[in-house]
């Protein structure tokens, strides 16, 4: 019995790894999350059983339910793919699922994916590290375990880019705590919404304006001097044309 924990990347099917695409084409069953890009699911064979276990308000799919489902499917099918957005081991609960499967005698194969923590800033033309602006990057989720609160005051570091996943609903708290932690209210911020998809939206502002930005999930928040940069191809082309 085995299960493949596969990273689906930030959304665009072109950003899948080759191994991920091959597994989707030959999978017997694919258990996927809610935010998997539609183009990614089109790579799944018509004969494949697809199970949507995306967590939405009021859903009945608990993590325990998903773990049990994966164990059951592993006993019935040869190729079971657990498809998770981004990378399964970067805030994707892939570790929890792997432990649950291994405890039940199921072999786990991990197929890394492109994490939105790095893909979203890159697609917005933002290098998360940049000489002279940032010598490191810290990736954190704003959605902690039940009963725990992320302390953003401790994450206020002028020399390190902060990338926040699942933080749109907490953006007011993030802004206030980072300012209390010592970050300048004028620190650049960028919010990358639906990264890699056709309707990708990038909103740039100051840290003290983050709470009032009109953005919705899924989105990645980037805090630090690099958030003011736009080194995407379009920007470079415009610059070259202006120079010419």
Q: What is the pLDDT of residues 111-140, one digit of tens each?
A: 999 999 999 999 999 999 999 999 999 999
Are 225 and 157 a contacting pair, CB within 8 Å?
no
pLDDT band at 79 (very low <50, low <70, confident <90, very high): very high
pLDDT(175) > 70: yes
Claim to verify: residue 39 and residue 101 sit in the same structural domain: yes
**pLDDT for residue 61:** 81
Q: What is the mean pLDDT of residues 226-243?
A: 68
Residue 11: strand, helix, or coil? coil
Domain residue limits at 156: 116-228
Q: What is the mean pLDDT of residues 6-35?
A: 96
Contacts of 191 (CB under 8 A, 6+ apart): 168, 171, 202, 203, 205, 210, 213, 215, 219, 220, 221, 222
Claim to verify: residue 101 and residue 62 sit in the same structural domain: yes
First to last CA, the chain: 61
Q: Could you tell me what percent of the chain has a pLDDT over 70?
A: 91
Phi-psi region of 166 (alpha: psi -120 to 50; beta: other; left: phi over 0): left
Claim to verify: residue 152 and residue 97 sit in the same structural domain: no
Are 2 and 59 a contacting pair, CB within 8 Å?
no
Report yes or no on 233 lying in a domain: no
pTM of the model: 0.90
The total number of structural domains in the chain stands at 2
Least confident of 38-52, 87-101, 144-158, 230-244: 230-244
Burial of 86 (0-12, 13-18, 19+ CB in 10 A): buried
pLDDT band at 148 (very low <50, low <70, confident <90, very high): confident
Claim to verify: residue 126 and residue 25 sit in the same structural domain: no
Active-site positions? 33, 55, 166
Domain CATH code at residue 125: 3.30.950.10
**pLDDT for residue 243:** 55
Report yes or no on 62 lying in a domain: yes
Claim to verify: residue 52 and residue 98 sit in the same structural domain: yes
Q: What is the mean pLDDT of residues 220-224?
A: 98
Claim to verify: residue 142 and residue 182 sit in the same structural domain: yes
Query: How does the average pLDDT of the chain come out, rounded?
Result: 92
């Amino acid at each position: 019995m085995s299960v493949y924990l596969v990273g689906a990347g930030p959304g665009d099917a072109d950003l899948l790894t080759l191994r991920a695409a091959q597994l989707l084409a030959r999978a017997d069953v694919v258990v996927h999350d809610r935010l998997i890009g539609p183009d990614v699911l089109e790579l799944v064979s018509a004969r494949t059983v697809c199970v949507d276990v995306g967590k939405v308000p009021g859903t009945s799919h608990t993590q325990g339910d998903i773990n049990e489902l994966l164990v059951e499917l592993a006993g019935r099918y040869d190729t079971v793919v657990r498809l998770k957005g981004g990378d399964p081991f970067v805030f994707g609960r892939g570790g929890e699922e792997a432990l649950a499967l291994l405890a039940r005698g199921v072999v786990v194969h991990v197929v890394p994916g492109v994490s939105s923590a790095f893909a979203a800033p890159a697609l917005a033309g933002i290098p998360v590290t940049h000489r002279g602006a940032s010598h490191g990057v810290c990736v954190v989720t704003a959605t902690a375990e039940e009963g725990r609160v992320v302390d953003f005051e401790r994450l206020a570091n002028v020399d390190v880019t902060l990338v926040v996943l699942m933080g749109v609903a907490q953006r007011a708290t993030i802004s206030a705590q980072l300012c209390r932690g010592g970050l300048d209210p004028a620190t650049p911020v960028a919010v990358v919404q639906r990264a890699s998809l056709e309707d990708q939206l990038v909103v740039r502002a100051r840290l003290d304006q983050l709470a009032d930005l009109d953005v919705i999930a899924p989105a990645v928040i980037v805090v630090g001097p690099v958030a003011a940069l736009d080194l995407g191809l379009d920007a470079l082309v415009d610059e070259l044309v202006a120079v010419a």
